[in-house]
Amino acid sequence: MKFSIQSRNDAISNELKELAQGYLQDFGLIMDEKEPDIVISIGGDGTLLHAFHNHVKRLDKVAFVGIHTGHLGFYADWKPSELEKLVLCIAKNQYRVVEYPLLEVNVRNNSSEVSTYLALNEATIKSPNVTLVMDVFLNDRHFERFRGDGLCISTPSGSTAYNKALGGAIIHPTLQAIQVTEMASINNRVFRTIGSPLVLPAHHTCKLKPVKNQTFTMTVDHLQLDHGELDHVIFRVAKEKVRFARFRPFPFWERVHDSFIASE
């Protein structure tokens, strides 16, 4: 069994990393940054996003687990005081794996080259200074011409992140779906968008096509894409999944409650 540890790189996270590494090596586990079976992320949900993208090419071979050194997270749901318990479970192989859906992003540039990305939380397209104008297609059929600040397309497990701030619904990660939410759409007698978040099932697509040459930024999780001149972007539920190591039940709705309502 091989492991790696991703730290947020603050003093507390680094100290925990040293401890965890020592314990796991005492149990005979091997540290392998390149090809681990399990990745322990220590920090916050943002740290787990980094870990995810570091291993995005081998998602079928790796399971993630997160320890939070700040507030309770959605991916980082273990407390530092539980480190020894966690190490024991890993060493004894006492865990099951749950799989969550991901968002696939296909970017096609003007030379018809396609780049594919996977998002754990969401992808966004936004224009900071001028109105973003995009034609939105659902399953290749024109749906609306969006004018506004931008659009966010999120995964179920990412629905508690940016999507939530945009008024999107929280979606349980057993649902194979993606959600499209608007950022400040222009709506009046001339311009019209649906206004509500849209939830798309597996195999449906959302295509965004810029209406004219304009500058905008594209993000995938914490990463900003250097997209160049693009023709269109297609979003769908990915065939790949992310795998989380689960050592105890901590149901999604309990995590939602403890993160947003109150934690005991």
Distance in Å, CB of 226 to Mn ion, minimum:
22
Cα(21)–Cα(258) distance, integer angstroms:
29
Phi, psi of 162 (to 5 degrees): -50, -45
- Is 156 one of the binding residues for Mn ion (CB under 5 A)? no
- The option from Mn ion, ligand NAP, none interacting with 221 (CB < 5 to 8 A, set by class) reads ligand NAP
State how beta strands 122-126 and 206-210 pair. unpaired
The only residue of 42, 49, 102, 183 in contact with ligand NAP, by rule CB under 6 A: 49
Among 97, 114, 165, 211, binds ligand NAP (CB under 6 A): 165
Report the site for Mn ion in 46-105 (rule: CB under 5 A).
46
Which residue from 232, 206, 226, 242 is spatially nearest to 101, judged by alpha carbons?
242
- Neighbour-count burial of 203, counting CB atoms closer than 10 A to its CB (0-12 exposed, 13-18 middle, 19+ buried): exposed
Q: How far is the CB of 42 from Mn ion (least distance, A)?
A: 13
CA nearest to 243, candidates 41, 113, 62: 62
In the complex, what is the shortest distance from the CB of residue 239 to ligand NAP, in angstroms, rounded to a whole number? 21
- Could you say whether residue 210 binds Mn ion (CB under 5 A)? no
> Which CB sits closer to ligand NAP, 127 or 157?
157
Question: Known catalytic residue: 45?
Answer: yes
Q: Which of residues 54-93 bind ligand NAP (CB under 6 A)?
A: 70, 73-74, 76
Strands 132-138 and 122-126: unpaired
Q: Which two tokens stand for residue 31?
A: 């540290």
Is 245 annotated as belonging to a binding site? Answer: no
**Residue recorded with tokens 């997209």:** 227
What string marks each residue from 20 to 49 as x (binds Mn ion by CB under 5 A) or -? ------------------------x-x---
Quickly list H helices, the chain.
11-26, 45-54, 83-91, 162-165, 252-256
Strand pairing partners for 150? 126, 183
Among 52, 162, 216, 235, contact with ligand NAP (rule: CB under 6 A): 162
Between CA 62 and CA 190 the distance in angstroms is: 50
Q: Which residues bind Mn ion (CB under 5 A)?
A: 44, 46
Residue ranges for the known binding site for NAD(+) are 45-46, 50, 121-122, 147, 149, 184
Residue ranges for the known binding site are 45-46, 50, 121-122, 147, 149, 184
Q: Which residues bind ligand NAP (CB under 6 A)?
A: 44-46, 49, 70, 73-74, 76, 121-122, 157-158, 160-162, 165, 221-222
**Catalytic residue annotation:** 45
